[in-house]
Structure 1
Amino acid sequence: MDSLHEPDSRSWISKEIRPKQILDKYQERVAAYKPYQGTNETNVRPFHLQQMVNVDDEMFKDLEEAMDIENLTTEGEPCPMQLVNPNWNGGVYGIAIPRYNETPIPEAGRLTLRTLYVQAEWNKRAKKDNPQDKDKTMVASRKKELLEPNDNFYLSQPPKQLYRGVFSDNKHLYTIKVYRPFVHPNIAIKDTFSNKDLTLAQEIWVLGEHTLADFRDKITCSIDNNFVGKQQVDTLNKLAPRAGDVYKSGFLFINSCFYLDTRHKDNIDYSQVIIDWASKSNRNLGPFKKGVMETTKFQDLEFRVGYPYVFTHQGNHEHLFCITDVRLVGPDDPQSENKYPLIRSVGVQQSRMCMVCQIKIATWVTVNNSRVAENPFFFCTLCYKSFNLKVDGSKEGEFEEYRYHDVNSV
């Protein structure tokens, strides 16, 4: 496959590596720098920092003076507040800064900026002396939304992480980006098109001891929610069968190896037809190997960082995915194995809107419908019933109808 992608001419693609070997050596070097269990960047002592940078006492003293945060203070700036570090019990400015220090709102600002006016009015109402005043509930309501009991902290932060020395700087973390499928152009059919740019679907974090099957189970795709068969609507007595529950076959193609999902006895080997196709002609592809998805761990793989690999399911539904980073777990990362595999982020894609009202997201699609101008044609539920069904529930004209699950529904 290297003859197609030319990885040596693309700067963002690495050489073939076995990350476990590299990270194991790096882990040993990190452990050597840590003088005691539980050391991280927030509690390391100056003596240990001096050892890490390997400078003499005089130069280290100059570094401390140059890096002092007080050097950034300018005359007339607001009084600093003690912000919360999720990995440390205390503020990043230390105990010298009052945690609940409030900066008075100047009269000029209160009369000029509406935000300051509203805040000043809120403070006035919330500090009334009458304990029975209903406005007292304003303080309690706001404090419930904050990490600290201080109405100045309009911060959105994750819960505080409990640092674990046996986890952080020890576990191997793989960052994988999964992209949405795109339509391959077919020059024989004039109406086909192709999206030129890849669209990110998910960023998933896995640990080295996770299997490829663990990663596969975290990939969400709206195609798996499609109803298969004649029953296209769930009923109280019987749920409509979904494609993900009926067709569970799939493979991950990594470094010329097809890793098959064999967890279910009826799963099909999608890779064999590809291997046969590549071997029967002079296409300069292969040789290919086969592996088992549920028994192969990420720490056992050899691959290229930044190289496009493929996940295939539902017969021919292909997702490109790329391993973009391999590193040790840090103290700011989730500190529990139960948090992984972790869906770190999801991409944004425009929903398919109803082609009648252009207001609601489509929930039905019709094919070969002679009463509409496009094929296929997408409807929201209300427009589908109003346009395609008679009063008695029978069809108005001839067409095939299927439930449509939008990409943003998952």
Structure 2
Amino acid sequence: MSMSLPTSKASAMNSCYNPQASSSLHTCKNLMFRKEIDKKNCYSRKLKYRTVCLIPPPEDDDQPDNELLQSGKDIIYRVRIYRPFPYTHSKHTVRHSLLMSEIVVLGQQPLWVLRDHIYCLNDISTGIDVSENPDVVPSTSPKELFPSSFMFINNVFYVDERKGCSDITLELRGWAAARNMGTFPVHSMDVKLEDVKIRLGHPDVYVHLGDCEHPFTFSEARLAHPRDPLRRVFPFVSQVGLSQVNYCSICSEHSTKWVVKRCDMVPFDPTHFCDTCFRLYLYKDGKKVCPFKAYAYKGNEMSVLKPRQ
């Protein structure tokens, strides 16, 4: 059976299919009607997974140190990680979760392996004002300064206990106990994924940097079969949610490199600048022309580059 995958450039409908042979069916009538009115490909633009980029699995590594998977014995998990979004009790949030990436991981691997393959913009962004000297951007990332994190899976806390990390669930568990919400078990992320009790499709949460929360779900848990990569190339990223590139607010041609706040010379707060407009518009002879704050922006790097394997 021939198939046509939905894309943003071509319609999702199969042009080889002629519904006139079964024109009495309601679905065929709708298909013919959509072909007549959908001249601008509006249907494919509304597809749920239109902005998801599929990444093929890595090739098998033939190094002798890599052990072969055992078909029908080893367990493979698919985990869908979603982007964090702000939430306040005073204002109801209606935005649905947006897919950030999908990770394929083995059941014999520890939980911190999954944690290390979750890439977030907040891990590399620096909230430090560098307007006085934009050539000196801090090289230390927030992930290096605040490595502590935990996962809350099926009412159980899994804390990263590696070197430099601390248990950031103490205050949260104390808050829950003070309100008679019960006590929650605490385990280390050294536990193997196959020993973690999960619920497929149930929303869990990954927390890092103190208050950056990522919802995630286990979408699949199955035994390995011969069509899987037999060498231990796991974990790897199988899907990435495509992000829209932010362009400069001044020239609208180059991608954003700087975010400027509290500046009286621009009509927006904050304002996105490319590197050229930033230096020509806000600096003269290397000095600021007015008071403002500037922050390095690395969001376009996350949207263009694929996650590291």
What TM-score do the two structures reach when normalised by structure 2?
0.70
Question: 2:64 — aligned with what?
Answer: none
The amino acid across from 1:217 in the alignment is D
Q: Residues 52-71 of structure 1 correspond to what in structure 2 (within 5 A)?
A: none
Question: 1:381 — aligned with what?
Answer: 275
Distance in 1, matches of 2:58 and 2:172, equals: 47
More strand by proportion, 1 or 2? Answer: 2
1:27-72 per-position Cα deviation (integer Å, ceiling 9, x unaligned): xxxxxxxxxxxxxxxxxxxxxxxxxxxxxxxxxxxxxxxxxxxxx9
Question: 1:55 — aligned with what?
Answer: none
Question: 2:191 — aligned with what?
Answer: 296
Of 255, 275, 287 in structure 1, the residue corresponding to residue 154 of structure 2 is: 255
Q: Could you tell me whether the CA contact under 8 Å between 1:173 and 1:326 is conserved in 2?
A: yes
Q: Could you tell me whether the CA contact under 8 Å between 2:69 and 2:230 is conserved in 1?
A: no
Q: How far off its partner does 1:166 sit?
A: 5.4
Q: 1:239 to 1:260 in 2, by over 3 A?
A: same
Q: 1:166 to 1:378 in 2, by over 3 A?
A: closer
Deviates most, 346-355 or 302-311? 346-355
Question: 1:402 — aligned with what?
Answer: 295
Higher relative contact order (CA 8 A, sep 6+): 2
Task: Name the SS of the counterpart of 1:201 in structure 2.
Answer: strand
Q: How far off its partner does 1:181 sit?
A: 0.9
Q: Could you tell me whether the CA contact under 8 Å between 1:181 and 1:320 is conserved in 2?
A: yes
- Between Structure 1 and Structure 2, how many residues are aligned? 243
Question: 2:216 — aligned with what?
Answer: 321
Q: Which runs of 5+ in 2 are unaligned?
A: 2-55, 62-66
Q: 1:277 to 1:369 in 2, by over 3 A?
A: farther
Q: Which runs of 5+ in 1 are unaligned?
A: 1-71, 73-156
Task: Name the SS of the counterpart of 2:290 in structure 1.
Answer: coil
Q: 1:342 to 1:281 in 2, by over 3 A?
A: same
Distance in 1, matches of 2:177 and 2:275, equals: 48
Q: 1:269 to 1:278 in 2, by over 3 A?
A: same
Question: 1:347 — aligned with what?
Answer: 241
The amino acid across from 1:288 in the alignment is F
Q: How far off its partner does 1:359 sit?
A: 2.4
Question: 1:46 — aligned with what?
Answer: none
Q: Residues 121-200 of structure 1 correspond to what in structure 2 (within 5 A)?
A: 167-185=70-88, 187=90, 194=93, 196-200=95-99
Task: Name the SS of the counterpart of 2:220 in structure 1.
Answer: strand
Question: 2:169 — aligned with what?
Answer: 271
Question: 2:258 — aligned with what?
Answer: 364
Q: 1:167 to 1:194 in 2, by over 3 A?
A: same
The amino acid across from 1:310 in the alignment is V
Task: Name the SS of the counterpart of 2:288 in structure 1.
Answer: coil
Q: How far off its partner does 1:403 sit?
A: 0.4
Tell me, yes or no, if structure 1 residue 213 matches structure 2 residue 107.
no
Q: Could you tell me whether the CA contact under 8 Å between 1:199 and 1:349 is conserved in 2?
A: no
Distance in 2, matches of 1:334 and 1:250, equals: 30
Deviates most, 212-221 or 241-250? 241-250
Distance in 1, matches of 2:101 and 2:72, equals: 25
Distance in 2, matches of 1:362 and 1:160, equals: 35
The amino acid across from 1:348 in the alignment is L
Identity %: 30
Distance in 1, matches of 2:261 and 2:95, equals: 26
Question: 1:148 — aligned with what?
Answer: none
1:69-108 per-position Cα deviation (integer Å, ceiling 9, x unaligned): xxx9xxxxxxxxxxxxxxxxxxxxxxxxxxxxxxxxxxxx
Q: Could you tell me whether the CA contact under 8 Å between 2:126 and 2:142 is conserved in 1?
A: yes
The amino acid across from 1:184 in the alignment is Y
Task: Name the SS of the counterpart of 1:361 in structure 2.
Answer: coil
Distance in 2, matches of 1:220 and 1:253, equals: 18
Distance in 1, matches of 2:152 and 2:58, equals: 37
- Which ranges of 4 or more aligned residues in structure 1 deviate by more than 4 Å? 157-162, 228-235
Tell me, yes or no, if structure 1 residue 333 matches structure 2 residue 228.
yes
Q: Could you tell me whether the CA contact under 8 Å between 1:367 and 1:377 is conserved in 2?
A: yes
Distance in 2, matches of 1:161 and 1:297, equals: 23
Q: Could you tell me whether the CA contact under 8 Å between 1:177 and 1:204 is conserved in 2?
A: yes
Task: Name the SS of the counterpart of 1:310 in structure 2.
Answer: strand
Distance in 2, matches of 1:260 and 1:279, equals: 18
Q: 1:331 to 1:194 in 2, by over 3 A?
A: same
More helix by proportion, 1 or 2? Answer: 1
RMSD, aligned CA: 2.9
Q: 1:251 to 1:233 in 2, by over 3 A?
A: farther
Q: How far off its partner does 1:161 sit?
A: 6.9
Task: Name the SS of the counterpart of 2:112 in structure 1.
Answer: helix
Task: Name the SS of the counterpart of 1:323 in structure 2.
Answer: strand
Distance in 1, matches of 2:134 and 2:147, equals: 21
